[in-house]
Amino acid sequence: MSKVLVTGGCGYIGSHTIVDLIDNGFDVVSVDNLSNSSESVLNGIEAITGKRVKNYNIDLCWEEATHQLFEDHPDIEGVIHFAALKLVGESVQQPIRYFRNNLNSLLNLLDCMARHGTPHLIFSSSCSVYGNTTDLPVTEDTPLQEAESPYARTKQMGEQIIRDFARVHPAHKSILLRYFNPAGAHESALIGEAPTNPASNLVPVITETAIGKRREMTVFGDDYDTRDGSCIRDYIHVMDLANAHTKALQYLQKGKNTDNLEVFNLGIGEGVTVLEAINAFMMVTAQPLAYRLGERRPGDVVAIYANNDRAARRLGWEPKRDIRDIMRTAWEWEKRR
């Protein structure tokens, strides 16, 4: 069994990816300092897979502890690096905290991987690296614009750091995965999005409003130049996203890569408006939703969605779920939480 270190394994995308990795025969070790998660997610993973995953409660910015982890697991063959702070608005208020956390953790990790000869890295990047682009759909070759937030800049810088690392470590192979808008939950509703920070993304805001945790929600802008006036995004189901990580790792292990650093967009390749997402929720769940049309949110891009041809062609990855599956599974998870 191939051993994988998943950083941020107790978080949203990390926990769903662990399930997919275990389903595909990987042995998983998690490291997560629980700054935005709880170890109770490991119970959900165990209930789904029958496997208990060990989490090391370590801050990856702590160099010695991170090195010790690699000493204790010399057989780690690959790292999937999810651990990061991810709130765009918070990053504007606390830029230094975001640079320190997201970059120091990556630097320590790369240092450990170099020292221990760990061959494979999958990095969580984001469509936010494209900035306010108007070139749609976005391909991996679409030029990156100025980052719109310190968070997005940590992803651009993270990508660049890995690029420079790859130049001097030709035997090391990395993949940068640029996620669009991840949402939804595992079919079982045993795991889902459970941040300790308040949710601000559209889908959890919808489910939290429908269940009564919020009185009402606001659609940020209905006067954009789109088919119904609201913003367009590419919502990708978290289990489809999870499976792309497994496929990326297998791709590297089989030596199918064409370069020692490759980039892939992960979206479904279609744009959905905010109002379409809300309608999908109401249709699939038969729940009413208290929403009002409000002001535009500062910093929002009008529309962004992926061209995912490269991931389909090279990784053999195909998203199987759509916005209705996202809403159905997110709602089941919300009711169970």
Question: Choosing among ligand NAD, ligand WQD, none, which partner's interface includes residue 88 (Cβ < 5 to 8 Å by kind)?
Answer: ligand WQD
Task: Please report how close the Cβ of residue 87 comes to ligand WQD at its closest, in angstroms.
Answer: 9
Q: How far apart are CA 335 and CA 337, in angstroms?
A: 6
Structure tokens belonging to residue 311 = 């991931």
Structure tokens belonging to residue 2 = 């191939």
Q: Which stretch binds ligand WQD (CB under 6 A): 32-40, 199-207, 242-250, 322-330?
A: 199-207
| 238 in contact with ligand WQD (CB under 6 A) | no
Question: Choosing among ligand WQD, ligand NAD, none, which partner's interface includes residue 219 (Cβ < 5 to 8 Å by kind)?
Answer: ligand WQD
Task: Please report how close the Cβ of residue 224 comes to ligand WQD at its closest, in angstroms.
Answer: 9
Q: Which stretch binds ligand WQD (CB under 6 A): 11-19, 61-69, 211-219, 263-271?
A: 211-219
Q: How far apart are CA 91 and CA 202, in angstroms?
A: 18
Q: Which stretch binds ligand NAD (CB under 6 A): 9-17, 67-75, 208-216, 244-252?
A: 9-17
| 137 in contact with ligand NAD (CB under 6 A) | no
| 178 in contact with ligand WQD (CB under 6 A) | no
Q: Is 179 a catalytic residue?
A: no
Segment 31 to 60, residues that bind ligand WQD, using CB under 6 A: none
Helix, strand, coil fractions of the chain, as percent rounded to 5: 40, 20, 40
The answer to whether 8 and 32 are in contact (CB under 8 A) is yes
Task: Please report how close the Cβ of residue 35 comes to ligand NAD at its closest, in angstroms.
Answer: 4
Size, binding site for ligand WQD by CB under 6 A: 18
User: Per the residue annotation, which of 56, 98, 130, 151 is the catalytic one?
Assistant: 151
Calculate Rg over the CA atoms of the chain.
19
DSSP 8-state code for residue 126: E
Task: Please report how close the Cβ of residue 213 comes to ligand WQD at its closest, in angstroms.
Answer: 13
Question: Choosing among ligand WQD, ligand NAD, none, which partner's interface includes residue 33 (Cβ < 5 to 8 Å by kind)?
Answer: ligand NAD
Q: How far apart are CA 327 and CA 306, in angstroms?
A: 20
Which residue in 129, 12, 162, 5 sits closest to 74, CA to CA? 5
Which residue in 81, 53, 77 sits closest to 4, CA to CA? 77
Structure tokens belonging to residue 330 = 């997110």
Q: How far is CA 88 from CA 148, 228, 251, 299, 304, in A?
A: 9, 26, 31, 10, 16
Q: How far apart are CA 139 and CA 159, in angstroms?
A: 16
Residue nearest to ligand NAD (CB): 11
| 195 in contact with ligand NAD (CB under 6 A) | yes
Provide the 10 A C-beta neighbour count for residue 145.
16
Binding stretches for ligand NAD (CB under 6 A): 8, 10-14, 31-37, 59-61, 82-86, 101, 105, 124, 126, 179, 182, 195, 201
